[in-house]
C-alpha cells in the first residue's frame, strides 16, 4: 500500500510528484491512496485482511 506524503526531500510539489510516480508504476498488487491519506491506507489494509480470512 503506497501512501505519498506532502513533505519530503527536494521538489515534490506538495506530494504530487510521489503520487504520480506511484500511479505510473507497472507492478501488480500495489494500492495507492491519496496524498497524506493514512486513514485510507488503513481501510485498504483492513479490506485486504478481511479477504484473506
Task: Answer whether 32's CB lies under 8 Å from 23's CB.
Answer: yes
What confidence score (pLDDT) does residue 26 get?
Answer: 83
What confidence score (pLDDT) does residue 31 get?
Answer: 94
- Contacts of residue 17, Cβ cutoff 8 Å, sequence gap at least 6: 11
Mean of pLDDT values over 16-22: 93
CA distance 25 to 35: 16
Mean of pLDDT values over 19-33: 91
What value does the mean pLDDT of the chain take?
A: 93
Q: Kindly report the pTM of this predicted structure.
A: 0.81
N-term to C-term CA, the chain:
19
Mean of pLDDT values over 2-21: 91
pLDDT greater at residue 8 or residue 33: 33
Amino acid at each position: 500500500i503506497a501512501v505519498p506524503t506532502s513533505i519530503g526531500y527536494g521538489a515534490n510539489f506538495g506530494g504530487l510528484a510521489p503520487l504520480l510516480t506511484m500511479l505510473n508504476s507497472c507492478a501488480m498488487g500495489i494500492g495507492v491512496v491519496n496524498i497524506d491519506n493514512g486513514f485510507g491506507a488503513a481501510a485498504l489494509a483492513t479490506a485486504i485482511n478481511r479477504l484473506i480470512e
